């Protein structure tokens, strides 16, 4: 058996020598016929290279053709050491690369490819060393500067996409390089000086597919993008397309957002209407059913936009009204919003639709708290009036919007504490309704689903932050409310009225002073804590907010 194995080894080595010296094709065929398929395919030299590897290294097209014609090294055969296609791409052997694309198309994928050195003329098996990055044959050809190989691979890939009308025309190559996320191939193609239209088209492809490296390369060319996507800012396009096509692309959003910011794209773009980047991001991603998994990337983008100068108080609605005579286009797909918090709370209400699909309120509490605090730290105006619900039937402050949201999905006390801590004013009345009025009306006039008796007590305690006049108005309104279910809602109504009556009856000069101090400190905890008064008194003034903080 050893003698037979040794004989086979010598025979295969002889075949390799014929391949390397470009022996006549007939001689190669004759030598191949003397050996078994398993004998040829199983042989590996001291560098773990087989016959096909040596044929590729030698660029012996005839030898590769003979081997494939005989059915050798075809699928399901797998290479032992390094990818045949990567090797051909590295060496720039275009014709052999074409044969491999035709006969071994499954090799056209990302894998670890380690090249020892050109001078040593051999390749070694990938190890557990430093080179762990997976690359495609396209990447390898691009890094090697083999533009004909790059185009060959792209043409092969394009053939799979023509039926779906992915790309066509002269811009197809750079578009597909972006599609396949190969910066090295893209750089090489750009060396041929494509037209501005080609570059602009490629920017669109890289953006919609959220390919940051490719986008960065293209934007360095400073193309004129004013007509791209109908003049919409690239942030809006990025968030819209990445949301629609592939959930995995969300992971690239912070990097692509950073690229756009670095290249000077304004985070304050607002024409066409309803394309303000911050609000486009929020209204698309906050309400999606898999939001918890996307949370880190959404928050990262929010912070990036705000740090780059996005205004959390930009009023899209007022902007549209002020410029309605300019015939400015309106982007489809979302409503306009008055502030970042209005946008956030309005869209997070939509998660109520997913509760029946297994999503629980606790899964979104983290985002509710985190995003609210981010907006507050970046200067959100809690007194700004805006549209609260999508129907436009209710307007109010961020606190109004928060209360409306709480009715639909439940109350998070930590978020409420944040709003009060930063100065949310429960005394601002819009259309005859205070923020607390929304909650009280819900308990008295409707069927309560998401709120509890404990939640009602929390909102009633907010009355302690309001003036005698406001509490009296709310009590009078509550008395006028008509209940639908006398057995339950009358209990709530009586409880609410009784609480407010006690508040009014117990109104003292001390309580009035505490109220005035809080009001003059713009209701902000930080300002109260800086007052030159005893700490126990500060604590009394901030009782409602402090009780909400665990």
What letter would DSSP give residue 430?
A: B
End-to-end CA distance of the chain: 79
Give Cα 418 distance to the centre of its chain.
Answer: 26
**Residue whose C-alpha is closest to residue 285's, from 329, 236, 320:** 236
Tell me the CB-side half-sphere exposure of residue 298, using CA atoms within 13 A.
Answer: 25
Write out the two tokens for 294: 């996307």
Taking the C-alpha atoms of residue 538 and residue 521, their distance in angstroms, rounded to an integer, is 12
DSSP, residue by residue, 372-408 = HHHHHHTT--TT--EE-STTS--EE-HHHHHHHHHHH
Which residue, 135, 155, 189, sits at the end of a domain?
Answer: 135
User: Any long-range contacts for 421-425 (C-beta under 8 Å, 24+ apart)?
Assistant: 421/524, 421/525, 421/545, 421/549, 422/376, 422/380, 422/382, 422/524, 422/525, 423/382, 423/383, 423/522, 423/523, 423/524, 424/382, 424/397, 424/398, 424/399, 424/523, 425/382, 425/383, 425/397, 425/399, 425/523
pLDDT of residue 290: 75
Q: In this structure, is residue 97 part of a structural domain?
A: yes
Residue after which a domain boundary falls, among 135, 170, 201: 135
Domain-ending residue, one of 135, 154, 169 = 135
| Domain assignment present for 549 | yes
Q: What is the rounded CA–CA span in Å between residue 535 and residue 541?
A: 10
Domain membership flag for residue 33: yes
Bridge partners for 122 per DSSP: 117
Identify whether 25 is part of a domain: yes
pLDDT of residue 164: 46
Q: What are phi and psi of 542, to 5 degrees?
A: -100, 20
Q: Indicate whether 149 belongs to any domain.
A: no
In a domain, 31, yes or no: yes
Q: Are 525 and 421 in contact (CB under 8 A)?
A: yes
Asked whether residue 82 is domain-assigned, the answer is: yes
Q: What is the pLDDT at residue 158? A: 80
206 located within any domain: no
> Domain containing 102 — which CATH number?
1.25.40.20
Q: Quick count: other Cβ atoms within 10 Å of Cβ 286?
A: 25
Q: How far apart are CA 327 and CA 210, in angstroms?
A: 31
Q: How far apart are CA 277 and CA 227, in angstroms?
A: 18
Q: 330 in helix, strand or coil?
A: strand
- The confidence score (pLDDT) of residue 116 equals 67
How many domains is the chain partitioned into structurally?
Answer: 2
Spatial CA neighbour of 437 closest among 391, 471, 474, 407: 474
Q: Which domain holds residue 6?
A: 2-135
Neighbours of 467 (CB within 10 A): 15
Helix/strand/coil (H/E/C) assignment for every residue in 227-260: CHHHHCCHHHHHHHHHHHHCHHHHHHHHHHHHHH
Of 145, 149, 139, 207, nearest in space to 175 by CA:
207
Taking only the tens of pLDDT, the chain with its 550 residues reads: 454 556 688 999 999 999 999 999 999 999 999 999 999 999 999 989 999 999 999 999 999 999 999 999 999 999 988 999 999 999 999 999 999 999 999 999 999 998 664 444 554 444 433 355 899 999 999 999 999 999 999 999 886 554 444 555 556 899 999 999 999 999 999 999 999 999 999 999 999 999 999 999 999 999 999 999 988 999 999 998 876 666 678 889 999 999 999 999 999 999 999 999 999 999 888 777 777 778 899 999 999 999 999 999 999 999 999 998 888 888 888 899 999 999 999 998 887 766 655 567 777 888 899 999 999 999 999 999 999 988 778 999 999 999 999 999 999 999 999 999 999 999 999 999 999 999 999 999 988 889 999 999 999 999 999 999 999 999 999 999 887 666 789 999 999 999 999 999 999 999 999 999 999 999 999 999 999 999 999 999 999 999 987 6
| H-assigned helices in 108-252 | 137-144, 147-161, 172-179, 183-190, 196-208, 212-219, 234-245
Q: Could you tell me the two tokens for 47?
A: 């560098």
Q: In whole angstroms, what separates CA 98 from the centre of its chain? A: 37
Number of helices (H) and strands (E) in the chain: give both, helices first.
30, 4
Would you tell me how many other CB atoms lie within 10 Å of the CB of residue 5?
Answer: 10
Tokens coding 150: 């790059």
> What is the model's pLDDT at position 168?
52
- Dihedral of the alpha carbons of 122, 125, 128, 131, in degrees to the nearest 10: 50
């Amino acid at each position: 058996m050893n003698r037979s194995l040794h004989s086979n080894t010598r025979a295969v080595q002889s075949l390799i020598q014929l391949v390397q010296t470009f022996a006549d094709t007939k001689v190669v065929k004759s030598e191949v016929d003397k050996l078994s398929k398993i004998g040829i395919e199983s042989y590996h030299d001291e560098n773990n290279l087989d016959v096909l590897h040596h044929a590729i290294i030698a660029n012996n097209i005839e030898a590769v053709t003979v081997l494939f014609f005989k059915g050798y090294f075809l699928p399901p055969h797998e290479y032992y050491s390094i990818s045949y296609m990567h090797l051909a791409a590295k060496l720039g052997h275009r014709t052999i690369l074409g044969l491999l694309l035709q006969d071994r198309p499954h090799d056209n994928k990302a894998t670890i490819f380690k090249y020892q050195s050109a001078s040593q003329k051999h390749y070694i098996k990938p190890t557990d060393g430093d080179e762990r990055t997976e690359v495609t044959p396209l990447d390898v050809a691009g890094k090697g500067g083999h533009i004909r190989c790059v185009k060959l691979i792209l043409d092969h890939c394009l053939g799979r996409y023509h039926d779906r009308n992915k790309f066509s025309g002269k811009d197809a190559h750079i578009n597909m390089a972006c599609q396949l996320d190969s910066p090295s191939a893209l750089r090489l193609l750009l060396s041929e000086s494509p037209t501005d239209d080609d570059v602009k088209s490629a920017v669109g492809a890289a953006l919609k597919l959220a390919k940051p490296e490719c986008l960065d390369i293209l934007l360095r060319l400073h193309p004129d993008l004013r007509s791209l996507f109908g003049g919409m800012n690239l942030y809006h396009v990025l968030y819209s397309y990445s949301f629609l096509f592939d959930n995995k692309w969300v992971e690239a959003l912070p990097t692509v957002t950073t690229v756009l910011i670095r290249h000077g794209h304004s985070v304050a773009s607002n024409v066409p209407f309803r394309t303000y980047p911050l609000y486009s991001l929020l209204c698309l991603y906050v309400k999606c059913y898999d939001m918890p998994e996307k949370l880190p990337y959404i928050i990262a983008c929010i912070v990036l936009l705000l740090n780059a100068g996005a205004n959390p108080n930009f009023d899209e609605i007022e902007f549209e009204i002020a410029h309605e005579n300019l015939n400015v286009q309106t982007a489809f797909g979302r409503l306009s919003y008055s502030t970042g918090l209005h946008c956030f709370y309005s869209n997070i209400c939509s998660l109520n639709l997913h509760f029946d699909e297994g999503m629980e309120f606790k899964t979104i509490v983290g985002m509710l708290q985190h995003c609210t605090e981010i907006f507050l730290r970046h200067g959100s105006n809690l007194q700004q009036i805006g549209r609260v619900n999508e129907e436009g039937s209710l307007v109010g402050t961020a606190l109004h919007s928060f209360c409306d949201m709480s009715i639909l999905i439940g109350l998070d006390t930590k978020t409420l504490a944040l709003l009060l801590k930063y100065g949310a004013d429960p005394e601002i009345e819009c259309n005859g309704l205070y923020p607390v009025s929304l909650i009280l009306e819900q308990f008295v006039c409707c069927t309560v689903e998401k709120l509890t008796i404990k939640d009602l007590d929390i909102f009633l305690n907010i009355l302690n932050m309001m003036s005698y006049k406001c509490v009296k108005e709310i009590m009078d309104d509550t008395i006028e409310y008509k209940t639908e279910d006398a057995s339950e809602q009358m209990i709530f109504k009586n409880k609410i009225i009784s609480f407010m009556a006690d508040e009014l009856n117990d109104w003292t000069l001390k309580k009035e002073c505490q109220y005035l101090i809080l009001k003059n400190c713009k209701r902000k905890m930080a300002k109260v804590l800086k007052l030159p008064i005893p700490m126990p008194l500060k604590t009394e003034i901030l009782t409602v907010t402090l009780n909400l903080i665990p």
